Amino acid sequence: MTSPDSILGELRQLMIETPSWAYGNSGTRFKVFSQPGVARNAYEKIDDAAQVHHFTGVAPSIALHIPWDKVDDFSDLARHAKEAGITIGAINPNVFQEDDYKLGSVCNPDPRVRRRAVDHLLECVAIAEETGSTLLSLWFADGINYPGQDDLRSRQERLGEALAEVYAAMPANMRMLVEYKFFEPAFYATDIPDWGTSLLHCLALGERAQVLVDTGHHAPGTNIEFLVSNLLRVGRLGGFHFNSRFYADDDLIVGAADPFQLFRIMNEIVAMGAHRATSGVAFMLDQCHNLEPKIPGEIRSVMNVQEATAKALLVDRDALREAQLNGDVLGAHEVLMDAFNTDVRPLLGQLRESMGLDPQPLAAYARSGYAEKIVADRATGTAAGWGA
């Protein structure tokens, strides 16, 4: 059995990146809902992300979405992040919100549109260099709605050519994370619909191209921990966009819909030691807080990932392996369930106290007065949101 001190040491190594877009207004396909005190620009998003890190101690970076977070001076933005106590994380290009991309971006049959999309990806490589980021996170809305609308093979070849050009432009310390999604907005054929397609392109590019798993981007019933295990086995799991889903890509708080699934995923991660920051697996949140307040929503999300990881660290690996080798089906399952059913909140309270933090991050944030301060300070101006 792993000792409590050892588990605390392992938990200190888990770092979780929050996304800039979580701090802006968001909603549904039909309406973007506004909240008081929402960040108005990239600088204020960084300030809000720094609050999540301040109260959890394990969220030291913020992912940017370009052009939503575009500023005149990215080195100054990186300086602001450093002064706030965090860093700039993954850079996420946007090639899905322009009229030109109606028929796709890098897979578009029009070479002019493809050039525009690739130029934006190259711009984001430069932004990453300027901000000190080493991660380029790619998701494409490309696909077709009708059979015969475009040639499937040609679209894959265009995709491969675009990725190769961007990969060649990346500095040696940068990784490309290639995300996938099985449908939406394309309904007949999405150009990167699954982890296998992403992996094929990554293998063609080189070792610094890896698969990014979004937990909401799968068909119902998909065994996500299975594919996570396989990607870890071949060294191609680049990271996660953590969220929860009931039906499709709901982008709800991670662990809210199916905490047992999150535990199962983290069990595979922990079994390979990939929860440690040195593993290179990037743990990132990708969520839209449509109803709940933004900063508490992110704090709760970080806590949920921590809880699932702590439970995974409690799994008795020796007992599990013995049961597996002996064909003890129920015994092996019981080892996992014992860990999952353990209340790890006191353990995580100890972790935070050992880090000089309040054991109850949400309560500490509520007492801090920051929420009231930003409501007053940001009463004027235009709040950030989808597309800004």
Residue 3 binned pLDDT confidence (cut-offs 50, 70, 90): confident
- pLDDT given for residue 385 in this prediction: 86
303: nearest Cα among 363, 237, 215:
363
pTM of the model: 0.96
pLDDT tens by residue, 257-275 = 999 999 999 999 999 999 9
Residue 215 binned pLDDT confidence (cut-offs 50, 70, 90): very high
Distance of alpha carbon 116 from alpha carbon 377, whole angstroms: 38
- pLDDT given for residue 386 in this prediction: 73
- pLDDT given for residue 14 in this prediction: 98
Judge whether residue 387 has pLDDT over 80: no
Residue 314 binned pLDDT confidence (cut-offs 50, 70, 90): very high
Residue with tokens 């009231």: 372
Residue % of the chain over a pLDDT of 70: 99
Residues 275 and 14: beta-carbon distance below 8 Å: yes
- pLDDT given for residue 1 in this prediction: 56
- pLDDT given for residue 388 in this prediction: 53
Determine the topology of domain 14-311+359-377 in CATH. TIM Barrel (3.20.20)
Q: Diameter of the chain by CA atoms?
A: 66
pLDDT tens by residue, 375-385 = 999 999 999 98
Mean pLDDT value across residues 178-188: 96
Domain ranges of the chain: 14-311+359-377
Question: What does pLDDT average to over the chain?
Answer: 97
Judge whether residue 107 has pLDDT over 70: yes
Distance of alpha carbon 198 from alpha carbon 26, whole angstroms: 28
Residues 128 and 136: beta-carbon distance below 8 Å: yes
